[in-house]
Amino acid sequence: MVDNRRAATHRVVMTGMGVLSPNGKGVREFWESTVAGRSGIRRIDSFDVDGLPSQIAGQVRGLDPLEFMPNREVKNVSRAVPMVLAAAKEALLNARLNWREIVEDERCEFGVIIGSGGGCIEFTERQYKNFFNNRLRQVSLYNVPSSTMGTLSSELSMAYRLYGPSHVVSTGCTSSTDALGYAFLQLRLGRLKSVLSGGVDATVTPGTMTGFCMMKILSTGWNETPGQASRPFDRERDGFVLGEGAWMFVLERLDHALSRGAPILAEVAGYGSTCEAFHRVRLAESGREPARAMQLAIEDAGAAKDEIGYINLHGTSTQMNDRVETVAAKLCFDRRAYDVPMSSLKSMIGHPQGASGAAGIAAIVQSFQTDTLAPTINYDVFDPDCDLDYVPNTARSKRIDLALGNCLGFGSKSSALVLKRYS
- Whole-angstrom CA distances from 55 to 52, 120, 146, 286 are 6, 22, 28, 33
Query: Is 108 tagged catalytic?
Result: no
The residues pairing with 405 across neighbouring beta strands, listed in sequence order, are 312, 417
DSSP states of 51-72: TSS--EEE---S--GGGTS-HH
Q: Which residues contact 361 (CB under 8 A, 6 or more apart)?
A: 176, 177, 180, 198, 247, 249, 312, 405, 417, 419
3-state secondary structure 98-167: CHHHCCHHHHHCEEEEEECCCCCHHHHHHHHHHHHCCCHHHCCCCCCHHHCCCHHHHHHHHHHCCCCCEE
Catalytic residue among 120, 314, 332, 386: 314
Catalytic residue among 10, 167, 256, 351: 351
Helix, strand, coil percent values for the chain (each to nearest 5):
40, 20, 40
Q: Are 283 and 245 in contact (CB under 8 A)?
A: no
Query: Is 279 tagged catalytic?
Result: no
Q: Are 363 and 375 in contact (CB under 8 A)?
A: no
Catalytic residue among 10, 120, 167, 173: 173
Query: Is 256 tagged catalytic?
Result: no
Buried residues in 167-205 as b, exposed as e (16+ CB within 10 A): bbbbbbbbbbbbbbbbbbbbbbeeebbbbbbbbbbbbbb
Catalytic residues: 173, 314, 351
